[in-house]
Amino acid sequence: MLHGWDNFYITAATAGATLIGLLFVVVTLGTGISASSAVHGVRAFVTPTLAHFGGVLFLSLVMLVPWPLARPPSIILGLSGLVGLAYLGKVILMQSKVDFVELHWLDWIPYRGLPALANASLVAGAIGLIDENSFAPYAFASAIVLLLFVGIYGAWDLTVWIIRNRNAT
């Protein structure tokens, strides 16, 4: 069922790893920003962005393993989705405590809605893979694409915020 997806997962893993490196460059640009005010923002916005890119890399590598049975990757991916949903709850609490960033209500779609959808897609794909449903590989691929998009959105928002606030300190 997972045959023929190698190029997709190799490309996604490469993108995730590359974007992790670029995120470190972006964070380095922000080293002049006041550390006391930025700590909560780093935990609330930068760490989830890193987690999204890391998730893309991890999920892609799990899918590239030549598993003899469907159950092991199903368990790994399903648990990843459940952990991702729990982590999202923590992220939402952290983001609500950040008082120096005011986001437009539409910005919460990529920060909250799309990660929830991606993690739910992982859980659904894991169940589908165990049941040998043909939608399972598409559920995993959509989760990876969503996490990649959300990570790019977060990194872009972070970059713009750093540029605007770099000389404000």
Q: Is the pLDDT of residue 93 over 60?
A: yes
Q: pLDDT exceeding 70 applies to what percent of the chain?
A: 85
Is 90 a domain residue?
yes
Give the pair of three-digit tokens for residue 106: 């539409």
Q: Is the pLDDT of residue 88 over 80?
A: yes
Is 79 a domain residue?
yes
Higher pLDDT, 158 or 91: 91
Is 1 a domain residue?
no
Is 144 a domain residue?
yes
**Terminal alpha carbon distance of the chain:** 54
Q: Residues 66-78: what's their mean pLDDT?
A: 93
Residue 29: the pLDDT is: 72
Q: Is the pLDDT of residue 40 over 70?
A: no
Task: Give tens-digit pLDDT for 103-153.
Answer: 777 888 999 999 999 999 999 999 999 998 999 999 999 999 999 999 999
Give the pair of three-digit tokens for residue 88: 């999202």
Strand ranges in 8-99 using DSSP code E only, listed in sequence order: none
Cα atoms in the 13 Å half-sphere on the side-chain side of 76:
16
Which of 148, 145, 134, 130 is closest to 1 using CA atoms? 134
Q: Is the pLDDT of residue 54 over 60?
A: yes
| pTM > 0.75: yes or no | yes
Range of the domain at 80: 6-165
Is 153 a domain residue?
yes
Banded model confidence at residue 168, pLDDT cuts 50, 70, 90 = low
92 in helix, strand or coil?
A: helix
Q: Is the pLDDT of residue 23 over 70?
A: yes
Scored b (16 or more CB within 10 A) or e, 121-153 reads: bbbbbbbbbbeeeeebbebbbbbbbbbbebbbb
Query: How many structural domains are present in the chain?
Result: 1
Q: pLDDT exceeding 90 applies to what percent of the chain?
A: 59
CA distances from 2 to 58, 62, 136, 138 (A): 16, 12, 9, 10
Neighbours of 114 (CB within 10 A): 17
Q: Is the pLDDT of residue 169 over 60?
A: no
Q: Which amino acid is at 164?
A: R
